[in-house]
Structure 1
């Protein structure tokens, strides 16, 4: 079959590789000039297979107001909020308070994370991809007893699901992460030794090159003007150039199936096909700095519980990421956000990186109001969605790509995909 994929972020490119590996002819349509230029570009670098959770969390709802009013709090929102933001928050509130939904979704996401780890290991064993990747684990710090108790409760679910983890005392932490020399309070940490790291953009672009070698066609600087439907299926895409240097004229691309993996751009495409995808662009920030003292830098991924800032080692660079901001598509980068990220890193890993030379970035995570991604078939027989992964697109990408490929080929998916179904948000 000829399968078109809209979107060349990490989710779209892993999907392309999964499909071309099964013998399909694949075309990827991307409005930007190369793969991995949007959300995949500057994310946290963590592949947190055992550290995934739904956005619509009862605990998060309780913490939301204090976080909003605290200058360095991890949650920010434009005031007054826009109607779009209010609709998203209302839906989040509904899911967070629905009995049993959070726990069911968390289990589904952990199962997907575990499967995705297996898929990533397979990819890395079979392909020579340079992306500063590794599986050195993830550590979530606890600066006080209350946070420690919460992490230990999480450990109970990890035990139930057979996910490897361990509780570390400050002395144990010093052995695993000797760079933790800051004066910030520390009572312990939860470690997931099987979790991974890597530069998502470098991975996406390296895998895109491998896809091209296998015959995938990438139509960069192109966007979909219209989706042609005939007899209940998608039959063609009308493409137009986004820059003068791309297609000189529009192009009609005939297809046998369509996969929408366009991140925050997915809702508009879905609406044209009669499908509601309430994805919101949750904004985040990152700094990527050269490491100046490897002995002081994190060895893998470390999460500071006070600021929710994630520090990840990517080869000779340190990537630090923070904030969840509800401000639609505002790409401005306030200095206050970067100052908080710098302070969080220095309080844990003093002298590790040259933060004055850091490259700053902001981007938008495609978040669903309940939290799980959107994976599956909807409305039309040959229409599939693999999008809405929120903060876990890098983590889930390899697994969700395989699930879509299984669906398209008529195989029974290896996981129950009901929690990810596109139609769960109604009409």
Structure 2
């Protein structure tokens, strides 16, 4: 089959890889000049989420906590962002958290197998670094995290719960003073360079053939007919729209993997989805003092800020800016950008002081699409030639590799390697129920 994948981030490139492996001919359409230029570019590095990496903790998204919540919260009264925040709050109860993880876990494990197969099969080096150390400052936050620890024990996920002294002894960059509640070590989980992995997979596809990349072109609309599908391309840069014919590419199937841009494409089909785009911020700073640099990835668990060493730099990522859809269409206001950068800098100062030269940091901001139930949109739609693969959120870029395998199996007519209840929980139509 001829398949068009809309989006050249980690999700789109991983989808193209799986489709090509299944024997399909693929064209990836990307509005930027190359792959991994959108939300993929600024990812914090955590490859696969544990329950402690889940987006919806009991303290996260709590506006009353201010900067301690990890969110620069500016939704405005009666806005779509405020409504979305209320929907997220429903997942804070331990039982709702457990049900969410039960649905997500099979996709996590499939993703683990797929990444290992790709990395091992092509001997890819994408700055993998083993070991995640989640740390919690406040005793009350530590108590609230116990529902996640219960899940870790229930599902026999390998981890070690540590005292503050044990955390400081294990990771020399974490100071024992001021005192903190404790932490959890995941020695077999790891971080890696998401944009580098994406570019390496593209290189593999270039060498294998049967995958075309069309850069610098955005998709204006999707056309669906009985036996064929097509996309309408926006004018190329420098091309006057008034003096051109509509560029149309036909295919047998379309995969929408355009991140935050996916919603507008599907809305033109009458498919209205309650997902919300959130700005995410990151700082990439040179190492200030080698003796202070962490050898593990340190995660401020309450604020969901990750601090990862990537060669001679530190990537500090988190600081979600929750805004209305109208505000998201504008450049980020300077006070909000400053507040987000301050949140990231403070986490660095708190947990790995002296490791990063924040004054020389490169600031990044991007938009990631989140769903109100914490699960991505993966699978078919009401139309048999249209497929979805978006809304993975910030919890782990490796989920893209598992969801790509699910989509490729569905397009190929094969049974996906996740249970039916997970597949049903991921489908786009779940929001219509």
TM-score (norm 1): 0.90
1:71 positional shift: 4.6
The C-alpha deviation readout for 1:212-244, integer Å capped at 9, x for no partner, is: 22221111111223322222x552222233412
For 1:397, the equivalent position in structure 2 comes to: 400
How is 1:48-197 mapped onto 2 (pairs within 5 angstroms)?
Answer: 48-51=48-51, 55=55, 59-60=58-59, 64-67=62-65, 70-71=66-67, 73-78=69-74, 80-81=76-77, 83-93=79-89, 95-96=90-91, 101-134=96-129, 136-181=130-175, 183-197=177-191
Equivalent pairs, count: 420
Aligned partner of 2:269 in structure 1 is 273
Show CA shifts across 1:316-348 (max 9, x none): 211011222212424425223212211221222
Query: How far, CA to CA, are the matches of 1:352 and 1:319 in structure 2?
Result: 11
CA contact (8 A) 1:374 1:388 kept: yes
Q: Which of 375, 378, 385 in structure 2 is aligned with 1:375?
A: 378
Q: 1:103 to 1:220 in 2, by over 3 A?
A: same
CA contact (8 A) 1:3 1:26 kept: yes
**Per-residue CA shift, 1:6-51, capped at 9, x if unaligned?**
0111111111111112211010111121111111111211113324
> More deviation in 166-175 or 312-321?
166-175
> Does 2:43 correspond to 1:43?
yes
Query: Per-residue CA shift, 1:50-83, capped at 9, x if unaligned?
Result: 24666556x258x61322xx25542233252463
Contact 2:14 2:400 in 1 (8 A): yes
Q: Note the aligned Cα RMSD (angstroms).
A: 2.6
Shift of the alpha carbon at 1:355? 1.4
Answering whether residue 219 of structure 2 is matched by residue 224 of structure 1, we say: yes
Post-superposition CA distance 1:351-410 (Å, at most 9, x none): 112211110011111101111000111111121101011113513111111111111112
CA separation in 1, counterparts of 2:49 and 2:280? 20
Q: Bigger CA drift: 180-189 or 317-326? A: 180-189
| Structure 1 contact 275–379 (Cα < 8 Å) conserved | no
Counterpart CA distance in 2 for 1:213 and 1:114 is 28
SS in 1 for 2:408: helix
Structure 2, unaligned runs of 5 or more? none
Q: Distance in 1 between matches of 2:282 and 2:176?
A: 20
Question: 3-state SS of the aligned residue for 1:342?
Answer: helix
* Equivalence for 1:319: 315
Query: CA shift at 1:100, angstroms?
Result: 5.2
Segment drifting more, 396-405 vs 168-177: 168-177
Task: Specify the SS of the correspondent of 1:258.
Answer: strand
Q: Secondary structure at the match of 2:315?
A: strand
Q: What is the distance in 2 between the residues matched to 1:187 and 1:402?
A: 40
The correspondence for 1:207, drawn from 185, 201, 207, is: 201
Deviation readout 1:102-148 (Å, 9 max, x if unpaired): 421122223322221222121111124343223x1211112233333
Distance 1:100 1:174, change over 3 A: closer
Map of 1:359 onto structure 2: 362
Structure 2: distance between partners of 1:98 and 1:174: 31
Q: Is the 8 A contact 1:267 1:278 kept in 2?
A: no
CA distance in 1, matches of 2:79, 2:147: 36
Tell whether the 8 Å contact from 1:6 to 1:29 is kept in structure 2 after alignment.
yes
- Which segments of structure 1 move beyond 6 Å, counting only runs of 4 or more? 245-249
Residues 40, 195 of structure 2: 8 Å contact kept: yes
Q: What whole-Å deviation, never above 9, does each CA across 1:247-306 have from its counterpart, x for those lacking one?
A: 986432121111111111111111122322222111121100111333311223211245
Counterparts of residues 249-328 of structure 1 (less than 5 Å): 250-305=246-301, 307-327=303-323, 328=325
Tell me, what secondary structure is at the counterpart of 1:137?
Answer: strand
> What secondary structure, in the 3-state scheme, does the structure 2 residue paired with 1:292 have?
coil
For structure 1, the 5+ residue unaligned runs are: none
